Amino acid sequence: MRRRLLSEGAKELSYEIREIVKKANQLKALGLPIHWENIGDPIEKKCQLPDWIKDIVVDLVKTNRSYGYCPSKGMLETREFLVKENNKLGGAQINVDDILFFNGLGDAIATIYGLLSMNTRIIGPAPAYSTHSSAEAAHAHTAPITYSLQPENHWYPDLEELENKVKYNPSIAGILILNPDNPTGMVYPLDILKKIVDIAKRYNLFIICDEIYNKITYNGAHAYALAEYIGDVPGIALKGISKEYPWPGARCGWAEYYNRDKDEQFDAFCRAIPRWWKSAPPRSPR
> For the stretch 193-225, what's the b/e string if a residue is b when 16 or more beta carbons lie within 10 angstroms of its beta carbon?
beebbebbbeeebbbbbbbbbbeeeeeeeebbb
Structure confidence at residue 245 (pLDDT): 77
Give the SS3 label for residue 191. Answer: helix
pTM above 0.75, yes or no: yes
In this predicted structure, the answer to whether residue 8 has a pLDDT above a threshold of 80 is no
What are 175-224's pLDDT values in tens digits? 999 999 998 999 999 999 999 999 999 999 999 999 999 988 989 999 99
User: What count of other Cβ atoms lies within 10 Å of the Cβ of residue 178?
Assistant: 23
CA proximity to 136, closest of 193, 169, 176, 163:
176
**Residue 178 forms beta bridges with which residues?**
210
Ramachandran bin of 259, using left for φ above 0, alpha for ψ from -120 to 50, beta for the remaining angles:
left
State residue 101 phi and psi, 5-degree precision.
-90, 150
Structure confidence at residue 46 (pLDDT): 80
CB 47 within 8 A of CB 70: no
Structure confidence at residue 286 (pLDDT): 42
- Of 71-75, 159-163, 209-213, the range with the lowest mean pLDDT is 71-75
Distance CA 237, CA 100 (A): 11
What are 117-127's pLDDT values in tens digits? 989 999 999 99
Structure confidence at residue 283 (pLDDT): 42
In this predicted structure, the answer to whether residue 282 has a pLDDT above a threshold of 50 is no
In this predicted structure, the answer to whether residue 281 has a pLDDT above a threshold of 60 is no
Taken in order 18, 154, 106, 71, the sign of the CA dihedral is positive
Structure confidence at residue 17 (pLDDT): 65
- Of 147-161, 218-232, 243-257, the range with the lowest mean pLDDT is 243-257
Calculate the average pLDDT of the chain: 89
Q: How far is CA 51 from CA 57, 58, 70, 245, 246, in A?
A: 10, 10, 25, 11, 12
Distance CA 8, CA 68 (A): 39
Structure confidence at residue 118 (pLDDT): 86
Structure confidence at residue 190 (pLDDT): 97
Query: Apex CA 270: angle with CA 266 and CA 275, to 5°?
Result: 140
Structure confidence at residue 16 (pLDDT): 63
In this predicted structure, the answer to whether residue 262 has a pLDDT above a threshold of 60 is yes
> What 8-state DSSP symbol labels residue 202?
H
| Termini Cα distance of the chain | 33
